[in-house]
Amino acid sequence: MKQDSVRALFRWLLALAYGYAGYRHLATPAPFLAITPPWVPAPEIVVAATGVAEIVGAIALLTPATRKAAGWGLALYALCVWPANFHHALANVAIGGETLGWWYHGPRLAAQPLIIWWALWASGATDWPFRRRA
């Protein structure tokens, strides 16, 4: 499979993931509100805005004219929401009455840099660590 085909596949997967996550932020905000750090102002507005940002980012990722900007935006988004993942883990926040152990939080926190890279690579903003062949 050519790199462009693999990149397109991963771009679609990422767009679907962000689109679904955005929908969930808007349809069922309670779990996202629960993991929002206490220092975040107006958490309801922030959670709704992040849902909209995810949906817009997913659409923009699939649009050639906005693809690279979407990659940078989604990468920055993933960096900015990382504190919520840390808060979820370190405060042992229960979602629906259930807490998740480090079997979940460890890999989830470690995956965030991969998600950031994925947005950049899938959008074509970077080729690292792969090189295009002439």
For residue 64, being part of any structural domain is answered with: yes
For residue 128, being part of any structural domain is answered with: no
For residue 132, pLDDT over 80 is answered with no
Q: What angle do CA 17, 111, 54 make, to 5 degrees?
A: 30
Grade residue 60 by pLDDT with cuts at 50, 70 and 90: very high
Question: How many domains does the chain contain in total?
Answer: 1
For residue 131, being part of any structural domain is answered with: no
For residue 133, pLDDT over 90 is answered with no
Range of the domain at 82: 3-123
Q: For the segment 66-86, what is each residue's pLDDT rounded down to a tens digit?
A: 999 999 999 999 999 999 999
For residue 130, being part of any structural domain is answered with: no
For residue 132, being part of any structural domain is answered with: no
For residue 129, being part of any structural domain is answered with: no
For residue 46, being part of any structural domain is answered with: yes
For residue 134, being part of any structural domain is answered with: no
